[in-house]
Structure 1
Amino acid sequence: MSEGSTGASVVPATVHLPDDRYIPVRTEDLVAALAREHDAFGELAPRLAHVGEALTRIVSAESGAFSRRIERAYAPFNPDRETVTVGDVGGDRAELAAILAYTFDKANYDLLEDTQVRAAIDSANVHGMKVRVDREKVEELQIFVRGRTQETRLVRTIRRPIVGEMREVELYRRLAVVFRMQNSVEVNIKLFRDIPVADLEALLPHAEAGMSNLDRIKILGGGIGAIGGATWKAAALLVSGTVIAGQYFWALIAGLVGLSVRSVLGYRRAKHLRSSQRTHHLYYQNIANNAGVLDLLVTSIGHEELKETLLAYALLLARGERIDGADALSRAVEAWIARRFHVTLDFDVADALESLDRLGLWADRATMRPLEPEPACARLEQHWRERTTEDYHARTLSQRG
């Protein structure tokens, strides 16, 4: 955390940010952009839209089959399940773990390693709130992230603890927490958006908001001041040695007890306020939970598959003679995305080439020359009608073991 900061800050140097494979462009916008890009694709441009439509049907069929597979595997562990249990519902936790890892990876999320999580947690606090986590109550914990960006936000600092100042804050565009508590079979999945790296700990299970040093100073300072004044008066009366002094003494003792109770209650009120602020903050960052997260991930997988495949196909078809390998293809796609949409990414070229292989879209694989749009659409139509790749995700999972 930057020196002098008490709130969200720039990412600590010890936290490694994963490469960003996600393509932050809507599928429809990407297809439309390719179809209008006559400078890069010439007469191929409008024909690319037809390839995009054919790919959409294939991806939808694959995603539908995969969604059903995920639902069956997650049902025994879903905390929100409202259906009756029929037969053996023990479930296979190892199978679910493999499916979740595969699903997040295909949706272009990266798993944070334990060292990365610990580094972020050590510097974590939310809007000036220090957050504590009882790690012994958590049996399993994984954090997946996708996308990274910087955003200017108002941050409380030592120099400006009240009004704050504008700082560049490192964010995860999407952050998912997968966890299982001790002595529980339920697997919880929570998905958040635009989470500062320094706020990571607040999203963890069993997190509890603590008070800031400013809160403690206000509470203890008020109590100490009142108690000190009362003690001074009591001492003065005792020195006078009068009967009235004795009467005042017991009244002041009762007052001191009352002040102590008030300080304790003030501490609890401040702590409750901090917890409420944390809950309010996270409420607007939460996107989905449990099965809802998996539905979003499957949809995202379909979109990413389509975008990756179509980009690789288009760039190879238009510039094949200048693209002599996977690295060159990756650079070409990244350059086109940067020029057209002004974003940078680490294109997942391995996934794109695997999709071209799976769908048989090569005219000559050795020279990386794809089929022309018309025969490519015919090949994709055949795949869709025959459901050739409908079980693609299930087969890939089995191959990964």
Structure 2
Amino acid sequence: MQQSSKKDRFIPLRKTDLINACVAHGQLDESNKKAFKGLCHILVSTLHFEYHQTLETLKDNYAPFDPNADTLPVHATSQISLEDKQQVFAQTFAQVLNAANFEKVTEQDLQEALHEASLFKVRLEVEFADFAEVVFYRRGEYQKTETLSKFWGLKKQQVTFTNYDKVAVYIKFKNAEYFAQKKAKNLNFEPDSTIIKLFQNVPKADLEMLFPNSEVRMRTLDKAIIGGSALVGGTVVLVTKLGASLLLMAGLISYWVGLSDKAVTIGTQELIALCAGAGVIGGFIFKEWSKFKNRKLKFMKALADNLYFKNLDNNAGVFHHLIDAAEEEESKEAILAYYFLLISQHPISSEQLDQQIEEWFAHQFNFEIDFEIEDALNKLHRFSLIEKQDNLYRALPLNQAHAQLDKEWDNIFSTPVNESDSKLT
């Protein structure tokens, strides 16, 4: 398991494995182990229902902007309504990412990434003016080392770089009027649409490849290689294949401009020489142009190959992935906080609880986390599974906690959808 360069909020275990780890901790007797698993099951089910409501909110508000929609709109949506839906969608999406323990990529990080050299040796350019809004989120930041080949594989070099486990991209394009004024053609996206993408294993230096309008550009080194090859090849062609044609052309030009009185007679042999020379020049230009295009295609293939294996999901499909991730994180946080309060011999503070959980996780799994203690306690407090007195917390006994969650579940379908949505942290 790769350790982050700094402690992350993400808990790198499946909730089932985490529950089993708590049970195996040895602090519960056999009857309480079964009761604890039952409590976790109903807690996860309750959170699952809440996140289902959040998913529906995302889908409803994203529908007018979805470039992959395969359903028909029942009625037209006013501009004011579109703006409201866009705002609700953006806010809810950001809340889901936060609940899934993603961090927003700062403007400074993004600018640093755009100016760093790409690891797969491709220079990309992004037209930022095409976007009305751009936000990147990442989860899992750590230092990674890879061996890269240089000088056509003759030299190996180890490179250490910042890598992101997951990167979510939120981009809203400008409207059709902007692209019409720009006279842009063959757009591979819909103006005024909003695209959502999710990637994995992305080097920080290669964040620009995640933009939908990034274009491959030749690096200075590549231009030098092609230019040098063309210069050498052109010199060889001039010396070995165009001698007769050049002498004939020089004679004609000298006679036409008055530098020579000797007339040049163009017969069949001379015409053949001129045509052969033109053919050689044309063939040489085509060959060098093909080299340029093939090198660019090679870079575009490298870009496509990287994106193929890094892309996890697109647009509305991202919601399901992130909702599941957020639900997992919320469940794991609540389970950990309740378990350690349950096994505590006396009420403890949030700081003590946070320290206990982080130390246990580091000892048990050799992985340091930045546990979201406030979020965990807020969830438990919302479900009335804990009690607080003088800034000290204690967990309700398992039988009482189970009864409380049963009551919560019985009332869950009477909760209005907008109230359920407001519970998202």
Superposed displacement of residue 235, structure 1? 5.8
1:125 partner SS: coil
Alignment partner, residue 23 of structure 2: 35
Indicate whether 1:23 and 2:11 are aligned: yes
Indicate whether 1:317 and 2:347 are aligned: no
**What is the alpha-carbon distance in structure 1 between the residues aligned to residue 209 and residue 358 of structure 2?**
34
Which residues of 2 match residues 9-158 of structure 1 at below 5 A?
Answer: 20-38=8-26, 45=33, 47-90=35-78, 91=82, 92-157=85-150
TM-score w.r.t. the length of structure 1 is 0.85
Alpha-carbon spacing, 1:124–1:200, altered in 2? closer, same or farther (3 Å): farther
Alignment partner, residue 173 of structure 2: 181
**What is the alpha-carbon distance in structure 2 between the residues aligned to residue 223 and residue 106 of structure 1?**
56
Picking from 239, 243, 247, the partner of 1:238 is 247
Indicate whether 1:206 and 2:213 are aligned: yes
Q: How many residues align?
A: 380
Superposed displacement of residue 316, structure 1? 1.8
Superposed displacement of residue 169, structure 1? 3.6
Q: Is the 8 A contact 1:190 1:293 kept in 2?
A: yes
| Aligned-pair identity (%) | 26
Which residues of 2 match residues 332-371 of structure 1 at below 5 A?
Answer: 332-366=356-390, 367-371=392-396
Superposed displacement of residue 249, structure 1? 6.2
Picking from 271, 280, 302, the partner of 1:255 is 280
**What is the alpha-carbon distance in structure 1 between the residues aligned to residue 389 and residue 106 of structure 2?**
36
What is the Cα-based RMSD across aligned positions, in Å?
A: 2.9
1:64-107 CA-to-partner distances (Å, cap 9, x unmatched) read: 12111111111111111110101243532212211111121111
Decide which moves more: 108-117 or 302-311.
108-117
TM-score w.r.t. the length of structure 2 is 0.81
Q: Is the 8 A contact 2:197 2:314 kept in 1?
A: yes
1:284-312 CA-to-partner distances (Å, cap 9, x unmatched) read: 11111111101111111111111000101
Alpha-carbon spacing, 1:96–1:364, altered in 2? closer, same or farther (3 Å): closer
Indicate whether 1:196 and 2:203 are aligned: yes
Indicate whether 1:379 and 2:404 are aligned: yes
1:338-361 CA-to-partner distances (Å, cap 9, x unmatched) read: 111221211111210110110001
Alpha-carbon spacing, 1:132–1:154, altered in 2? closer, same or farther (3 Å): same
Structure 1 gaps of 5+ residues are 1-16
**What is the alpha-carbon distance in structure 2 between the residues aligned to residue 282 and residue 119 of structure 1?**
21
**What is the alpha-carbon distance in structure 1 between the residues aligned to residue 47 and residue 108 of structure 2?**
36
2:306 partner SS: helix
Picking from 332, 349, 361, the partner of 1:307 is 332
**What is the alpha-carbon distance in structure 2 between the residues aligned to residue 115 and residue 320 of structure 1?**
46
Q: Is the 8 A contact 2:50 2:421 kept in 1?
A: no
1:57 partner SS: helix
2:343 partner SS: helix
1:127-147 CA-to-partner distances (Å, cap 9, x unmatched) read: 111111111222211101111
Q: 1:185 corresponds to which letter in structure 2? A: D
1:61 partner SS: helix
**What is the alpha-carbon distance in structure 2 between the residues aligned to residue 85 and residue 209 of structure 1?**
37
Picking from 256, 263, 275, the partner of 2:300 is 275
Indicate whether 1:220 and 2:213 are aligned: no
Alpha-carbon spacing, 1:104–1:162, altered in 2? closer, same or farther (3 Å): farther
**What is the alpha-carbon distance in structure 1 between the residues aligned to residue 344 and residue 194 of structure 2?**
47
Superposed displacement of residue 272, structure 1? 1.5
1:74 partner SS: helix
Alpha-carbon spacing, 1:140–1:372, altered in 2? closer, same or farther (3 Å): same
Superposed displacement of residue 254, structure 1? 3.8
**What is the alpha-carbon distance in structure 2 between the residues aligned to residue 103 and residue 31 of structure 1?**
23
Q: Is the 8 A contact 2:7 2:368 kept in 1?
A: no
Q: Is the 8 A contact 1:79 1:188 kept in 2?
A: yes
Larger Rg: 2
Decide which moves more: 105-114 or 315-324.
315-324
